[in-house]
Amino acid sequence: MLISIENVLDKDEVRQFRQHLDQAPWADGARTAGSLARLGKHNLQLPDGEEPALSLGRHILRKLGVNPLFISAALPRKIYPPKFNKYEGGGNYAAHIDNAVMPIPGTSTALRSDLSATLFLSEPDEYEGGELEIEGALGLQSVKLDAGDMILYPATSLHRVTPVTRGARIASFFWIESLVGDEANRTLLFDLDQSIQSLTAALPEGDAQVLKLTGIYHNLLRGWAST
């Protein structure tokens, strides 16, 4: 399931992010990849644990914490601190699957990567190429969103970033461990929650069928969630 979440950051926030990122100390992104992925990773990244990545990442997490669509789709238990990358001058990332378990920087805990997220910080007309290509049950899907919009997709997916042949593609990326690790169950809960929200808006307050469906949702979540 791919979920596009619009306006995680508004245009003014994107401009402020870009002002910081345009002056940031970018480094070779291959240094942070695994031994196999390193061979196909050609981009730049901000160093972890330093400014401006820390403050910008915290801002993203605050926005996601009050985003109903993100919460409904991800059911987040843990979120990896957002990282930032840049692709330019032919930069690309060959097909790969993200690591299943990732130590969270600065802590003694780890995260199971159930979902991957890319928050676009460059407008589509600022660069050529740079599509995020994700292989899934529906085949290959190509993603290139407006700045401030985010794509959420299963971390189990084979995915790649195509070469950027003009301009620069700047984005934030991170991973989420969900309360519901099973993708099929999580998708079912998301579909049910979206239906409940639609019915709640269309039917009188306190409608018995909406209350019944809400109870079913929470009982399923109670049975499938790990805390």
- Inter-residue contact 192 to 199 (CB < 8 Å): no
The candidate with the shortest Cα–Cα distance to 191, out of 66, 63, 69, is: 69
- Inter-residue contact 176 to 117 (CB < 8 Å): yes
Which segments are annotated as binding site for Fe cation? 96, 98, 159
Which segments are annotated as binding site for 2-oxoglutarate? 169
Instruction: Establish how many alpha carbons lie within 13 A of residue 224's alpha carbon, considering only the half-sphere containing its beta carbon.
Output: 19
- Inter-residue contact 131 to 162 (CB < 8 Å): yes
Q: Where are the beta strands (DSSP E) in 66-107?
A: 76-79, 83-88, 92-96, 101-103
- Rounded to whole angstroms, how far apart are CA atoms 101 and 134? 20
Query: What one-letter code names the amino acid at 174?
Result: F
**Alpha-carbon distances of 139 from 29, 142, 161, rounded to whole Å:** 28, 10, 16
- Rounded to whole angstroms, how far apart are CA atoms 183 and 169? 29
**Alpha-carbon distances of 225 from 7, 75, 94, 217, rounded to whole Å:** 28, 9, 34, 12
Which segments are annotated as binding site? 96, 98, 159, 169
